[in-house]
Structure 1
Amino acid sequence: MKKILAMMMALVLTMSLCAFSAAEGADISGLTVTTPGGAPALALAAMAAENPGQYTTVAADTIAAAFAGKEADFIIAPLNAGAKLYKAGKSTYKLAAVVSWGNLFIAAQKEELKAEDLNGANLTLFGENTINASVVLYALKENGIEPAEVTYLAGASDTQSLLLSDAEAIVVTAEPALTAAKMKNDKISAISVNELLQQASGMEGYTQAALFVKAETAESNPEAVAAFLAQAEEACGKCTTDVAAVAEAAVALEILPNAKVAAAAIPGCAIRFVKAAEAKEQVEKTAQIDLSQFGGEVPADDFYYGAE
């Protein structure tokens, strides 16, 4: 009996090693990735710099078209956008991993800006009716902070411009725009929205940007997908363990203008790779902040790649 058990264990181990080797040795050179520019692109910058021909950068407001076009094997996009399109039947892309956990900050030209400074103040956000705005407003409300007025501009670069031009403005901006602003004006200080969110709910960030895999690619070439995701996890890890290398890659890919800004901004982008199945609870917690941003309900189980 012991011999039989030993043989069975050896067989299982051999099969596992073979599967791992197959995944590690799979050819991923034909796989393509579409990503918006800016912070989301930093997640795989270390990979993209080695094989730039596999990566296409698009404007953030065209990412829905990338899902509909089904040309790329992988897409980096706001998680809620991918979930909403999948629920509506407009996308076959499944969530492979969460790669960005919140890069938002509240900033002003003021030494040591504090959360209580926002009470009764005018606050300018970017991206009205987006999950980012919903997270900010939720974090403020749950911490008992009540601005007198909330207004909106289009994007983080717009609130960055206001931050630099108006000494009285209090704005929500994002990395790397915040770091670039600080390098132009050393009076600027900021509050991490993630810190406010953790104080309010215990959440360590929120599921902001994600890596999606096309279902057809996952079905037809699972070994290559597994190999790609293993390398993607390593690339995300470098955003913590080798910031200088990622900064150099970001400059080479024209994601950011210079290595100094990149190196200072990357830590605030909260990039870490968490597989879909392991991130499910956090996805649902983020969705509960504003279900309308996820199509009215939390994503179905089949949205999560590898969780079947």
Structure 2
Amino acid sequence: MKGRKTMNWKKKLLALGLSLALTLSLTACGQKAAEPEQPEEPAQTEEPEVEAPDGTEADTAHFRIAVLKGPTAMGLVELMSLSDTANEMMEGKENVVSTGNTYEFTLAGSADEVTPALIKGDLDMACVPANLAAVLYGKTNGAVEVLAVNTLGVLYIVENGETVQSMADLKGQTIVAAGKGSTPEYALRYLLTENGIDPDKDVTIDWKSEHSECVAALASGQASIALLPQPFVTVAQNKIEGLRMALDLTAEWDKLDNGSGLITGVIVARRDVVEANPGAVDSFLQNYAASVEWVNANNADAAQLIAEYGIIEAAPVAEKALPYCNIVCLTGGEMKDKLSGYLKVLSEAEPSSVGGTLPGDDFYYGG
């Protein structure tokens, strides 16, 4: 059962919309009519059937979903595990059927592995970086839309010392960082500027090619301040005694109170899939939200699953990082407000980061 020791998995499967249809003939199975194995009156389950927002019974679908190693997949891990259990129960057993969505998950190392399959139609949904979702919308002439924000900011300023207590304290400092030309650079430059610091004159940003190089620079003493995402922050803290999270860039972004949010990842879907299965998509989002809630409430058990699925290799690292990964499932108007504001910031910094132009309103499912 993939380590779900504390989970009432039967109840969870019912919530997911999977049931056992016992169609055994008493004669064929040699059962005695006087000794049925099942009660005459089926017991009432505690979980209601999944319904669409308008109150009608939701339609169902089989969704092929790609997730990426790292924080953007972590919130889905309970649904992945439940789906695997349900699929195993149904495989090769004619008396077990699905009354809800079924899911087929693929784990990928990078978005580059995912996007061609999504565009081609070999995938229905995918977890991708937020700005890439906007690029895909433009590249496909609106054939891709975003269903939910799944991860807020995972970027932190870490320091081996006590100098940095606010964004203002970064003035005059050297910061090692990776991700030039992508979200880490845009987010850092935006926050520095909004706090009255010129990112080109008032600080020195030493760009590395990989986050692991930043960790190595900290470990060797070549640097004392770095910009790192989770779970690299946790990895670095395990290697370097005294390394602390000085600033949470998500919290610093929120302090600006500009209606947007710092966002790392989203889940997108092909528009034709959404339009053909609106009720099933809504059911999926309910399943997704429930999975996120479980992961955030059960870090230790979730970390075991995260490691088992290879999302993050070591369970202790995953468990320690989880509280700082800002795993969410934001949908509808809240998703649109935060994501559109974030994409606007990126667009103003570098239009190509969002595909040249901002997506239209039809980019935001339910927004």
TM-score range, shorter chain: 0.7 to 0.9
SS at match of 2:256: helix
Which runs of 5 or more residues in structure 1 are unaligned?
Answer: 1-15
In 2, are the aligned partners of 1:113 and 1:189 still within 8 Å (CA)?
A: no
Instruction: Name the TM-score, length of structure 2 as normaliser.
Output: 0.72
* Cα deviation code 1:84-141 (max 9, x no counterpart): 1212326622110111110000112224642344211211221111133201111122
Partner residue of 2:143? Answer: 92
Give 1:176 deviation, angstroms. 0.9
Distance in 1, Cα, partners of 2:339 & 2:52: 31
Correspondence 1:44 to 2:94: no
Distance in 1, Cα, partners of 2:66 & 2:219: 32
Which segment is superposed worse, 74-83 or 140-149?
A: 140-149
Correspondence 1:187 to 2:187: no
Partner residue of 1:133? Answer: 185
In structure 2, relative to structure 1, the CA distance for the partners of 1:99 and 1:17 (3 Å cut) is closer
Structure 1 residue identity aligned to 2:226 = V
Which segment is superposed worse, 270-279 or 51-60?
A: 51-60
Structure 2 residue identity aligned to 1:142 = E
Give 1:204 deviation, angstroms. 7.2
In 2, are the aligned partners of 1:68 and 1:91 still within 8 Å (CA)?
A: no
In structure 2, relative to structure 1, the CA distance for the partners of 1:177 and 1:91 (3 Å cut) is farther
Partner residue of 2:9? Answer: none
Instruction: Name the TM-score, length of structure 1 as normaliser.
Output: 0.84
Which segment is superposed worse, 262-271 or 45-54?
A: 45-54
In 2, are the aligned partners of 1:49 and 1:252 still within 8 Å (CA)?
A: no
Partner residue of 1:9? Answer: none
In structure 2, relative to structure 1, the CA distance for the partners of 1:20 and 1:159 (3 Å cut) is farther
Structure 2 residue identity aligned to 1:295 = G
Match of 1:250 among 290, 306, 314: 306
Structure 1 residue identity aligned to 2:300 = A
Distance in 2, Cα, partners of 1:21 & 1:258: 43
1:101-140 correspondence to structure 2 within 5 Å: 101-111=152-162, 113-115=164-166, 116-140=168-192
SS at match of 1:77: strand
Question: Relative to total residues, which structure has the larger helix share, 1 or 2?
Answer: 1
In 2, are the aligned partners of 1:143 and 1:196 still within 8 Å (CA)?
A: no
Partner residue of 1:239? Answer: 295
In structure 2, relative to structure 1, the CA distance for the partners of 1:43 and 1:157 (3 Å cut) is farther
SS at match of 1:35: strand
Partner residue of 1:297? Answer: 357
In 2, are the aligned partners of 1:111 and 1:187 still within 8 Å (CA)?
A: no
SS at match of 1:280: helix
Which runs of 5 or more residues in structure 2 are unaligned?
Answer: 1-50, 85-102
In structure 2, relative to structure 1, the CA distance for the partners of 1:258 and 1:214 (3 Å cut) is same
In structure 2, relative to structure 1, the CA distance for the partners of 1:88 and 1:196 (3 Å cut) is same
In 2, are the aligned partners of 1:277 and 1:305 still within 8 Å (CA)?
A: no
Partner residue of 1:260? Answer: 316
TM-align CA RMSD: 2.4
In structure 2, relative to structure 1, the CA distance for the partners of 1:158 and 1:252 (3 Å cut) is same
